[in-house]
Amino acid sequence: MIEIHDLTKRYGDKTALNQLNLNIAPGQIFGLLGHNGAGKSTTIKNLVSIIQPTSGTITVDGLDLAQQRLAVKAKISYVPDTPDIFLQLSATEYWDLIAAAYQKSEAEVQQRRQRLMALFDMAEHAEEPMASYSHGMRQKAIVIGALLPDPDIWILDEPMQGLDPQAAFDLKNLMKAHAAKGKTVIFST
């Protein structure tokens, strides 16, 4: 269960979030919908600890994010709103980095990696530097990285942006399957 209570985020005199309250139960696909500037990415960045709230609390499975940040982060995978990160790495190196961050062994992720690479048509390009990828290929590499450790909560900021129709369809099916297992998906669009 994710509980957000009175979450407020201010940047100087601008209020990006004002006393947001949400409860997101396991087994849900929860969409944050709205126009640019509505606070979707700010909410997500607070949930994944990229930024700190001005006030309010976030609790994940009874753990206070402010007090138990690492324990909460272990429960979450994240797709940022732009795939332009770690461009000097190959996709395989990036996925290895993610697996190591979640303390997953090669044996734990190998089968899942092969399935995701096949699903998103990335096997032929896995050893190329991500800087050489198109926007859509970078997005696929980042999505695979987020899904690879398979934590309970997937937080996806604009995950369909740049994906071809088949990849977007496949990601939606993965999101449904994740929620059907009693896990949580949060995404913005």
Q: What is the pLDDT of residue 106?
A: 82
Say how many domains are in the chain. 1
Containing structural domain, residue 49: 2-188
The neighbour count for residue 103, using CB atoms within 10 Å, is 9
Task: Check residue 128 and report its DSSP letter.
Answer: S
Residue type, 85: I
User: What CA–CA distance (Å, rounded) separates 21 from 58?
Assistant: 10
Q: What is the pLDDT of residue 82?
A: 87
Q: What is the pLDDT of residue 36?
A: 86
Written as tens digits, the pLDDT of the chain (189 aa) is: 999 999 999 999 999 999 999 999 999 999 999 888 888 999 999 999 999 999 999 999 999 999 999 999 999 999 998 888 899 999 999 999 999 999 988 888 899 999 999 999 999 999 999 999 999 999 999 999 999 999 999 999 999 988 999 999 999 999 999 999 999 999 998
Please report, to the nearest 10 degrees, the dihedral formed by the alpha carbons of residues 162, 165, 169, 170 taken in order: -70
Which two structure tokens, joined as six digits, stand for 75? Answer: 């429960």
89 neighbors 169 (Cβ within 8 angstroms): no
Q: In DSSP terms, which residues pair with 155 in a beta bridge?
A: 78, 186
How much is the pTM? 0.91
Which two structure tokens, joined as six digits, stand for 67? Answer: 């007090």
31 neighbors 189 (Cβ within 8 angstroms): yes
Q: Which CATH number covers residue 139? A: 3.40.50.300
